[in-house]
Amino acid sequence: MTGPYDLSRHDLDALLQGEPAFRSRQVWDALHKRAAWPAEMTELPGPLRDRLSSEIAPALTIVDRRLADDGETVKWAFDAGAGALVETVLMAYPDRVTVCVSTQAGCAMACPFCATGQGGFKRHLRAGEIVEQVAWAKRERPVTHVVFMGMGEPLANYDQSIAAVRRIHDDMGISARRLTLSTVGIVPGIRRLADEGIPVTLAVSLHAANDELRNELIPINRRYPLAVLAEACARYVATTGRRLSLEWAVIGGVNDRSQDADELAAFARPLGAHVNLIPLNETDGYHAPGRPRAAEFRARLSALGVNATVRVTRGAAIAAACGQLAGTPRPA
């Protein structure tokens, strides 16, 4: 199945052969700048519009759409075909509109505290399916930022994720500093990304800064342990000049002790990284830290010279928050 964003510019030229020369640019801009579907391109002659709507209809079908936080958070569940479900979350703030996109249906990383990881892997998404998620969000609000932090591990689907980054950057016009790619720490992917010439913000899901605990929380750490990860991160920072983000889901009694803060600080400081603390969204067997604990944890980091912010949770009521995207829409 081909969606509108599966076509390259060249493919579109071919599809519009015999039409006036300006058509290709016109349709391309309508798709990327306005996020219009062919059926809505009233500027096109009727027969052409009909042909395009049947040949390049959206690849994703909405199976669920729900709102939270007074309508400032929207979560979509899409059927990407053959029962592959993916979720996308839009978060509107006074000064920005961020969309969180999925790069895979499911995830193979199997992190035990993450609902996506627990559901297993279904398939990689195509770049066109990733870009289309941004388009769906653009149809609702003027998207200013895109975070690759939904279902899946973007660097385990490297080529399609990067093709999507390029399309969102080049054709939707969102600058590299407004694009964030989050990874569990696939080291070869981080190295390649540093050389792409498109300095997106890199976020690394750290969650533990000693190998023993990290092996448990992020199984891929066995393949790419902390020392190797730190080296790849340092190279990313040196090559791109961008500040690194480290994500730390604060899990009660697991990684919220003062020793954990000390280890985190020792990892973050040499990298000049900013730490995002995410109070855990509870899943089976893992609990959120008590409020004072999270505040203490942050205070300790700051005393150790590490900048940390606590991420404000969005969409928990509709299972749209970090680690809750399971691809299983519950009945309304």
Is the CB of 106 or the CB of 323 nearer to ligand SAH? Answer: 323
From the CB of 149, what's the least distance to ligand SAH, in Å?
4
- Residue 326 as a binder of ligand SAH (CB under 6 A): the answer is no
From 22-30, 42-50, 226-234, 277-285, give the range in contact with ligand SAH by CB under 6 A.
277-285
- Residue 182 as a binder of ligand SAH (CB under 6 A): the answer is yes
- Alpha carbons 332 and 319: distance in angstroms, whole number: 12
From 88-96, 125-133, 179-187, 291-299, give the range in contact with ligand SAH by CB under 6 A.
179-187
- CA 101 from centroid of its chain's CA atoms: 4
**Residue 62 in contact with residue 76, Cβ under 8 Å?**
yes
Residue from 132, 247, 260, 263 in contact with ligand SAH (CB under 6 A): 247
Question: E strands of the chain, at which residues?
Answer: 61-68, 73-79, 85-93, 96-100, 104-106, 121-124, 145-148, 179-183, 201-205, 245-250, 274-279, 308-310
The size of the interface with ligand SAH (CB under 6 A), counted in residues, is 17
- % helix / strand / coil in the chain, to the nearest 5? 40, 20, 40
**Residue 131 in contact with residue 119, Cβ under 8 Å?**
no
- Alpha carbons 53 and 39: distance in angstroms, whole number: 5
From the CB of 25, what's the least distance to ligand SAH, in Å?
34
From the CB of 286, what's the least distance to ligand SAH, in Å?
7
**Residue 130 in contact with residue 146, Cβ under 8 Å?**
no
- Residue 308 as a binder of ligand SAH (CB under 6 A): the answer is no
- Residue 183 as a binder of ligand SAH (CB under 6 A): the answer is yes
Binding mask 210-229 for ligand SAH (x = CB under 6 A): --------------------
**Residue 155 in contact with residue 193, Cβ under 8 Å?**
yes
**Residue 289 in contact with residue 256, Cβ under 8 Å?**
yes
What does the DSSP assignment read for 4-21?
A: GGGS-HHHHHHHTTTS-T
From the CB of 251, what's the least distance to ligand SAH, in Å?
8
Q: What stretches of 60-186 show up as alpha helix (H) in DSSP? A: 115-119, 127-138, 158-170
- Residue 245 as a binder of ligand SAH (CB under 6 A): the answer is no
Is the CB of 183 or the CB of 201 nearer to ligand SAH? Answer: 183
From the CB of 7, what's the least distance to ligand SAH, in Å?
27
- Alpha carbons 51 and 32: distance in angstroms, whole number: 19
Binding mask 80-119 for ligand SAH (x = CB under 6 A): -----------------------------x---xx-----
Is the CB of 41 or the CB of 101 nearer to ligand SAH? Answer: 101
List residues near ligand SAH by CB under 6 A: 109, 113-114, 149, 153, 182-184, 205, 247, 249, 278, 280-281, 283, 322-323
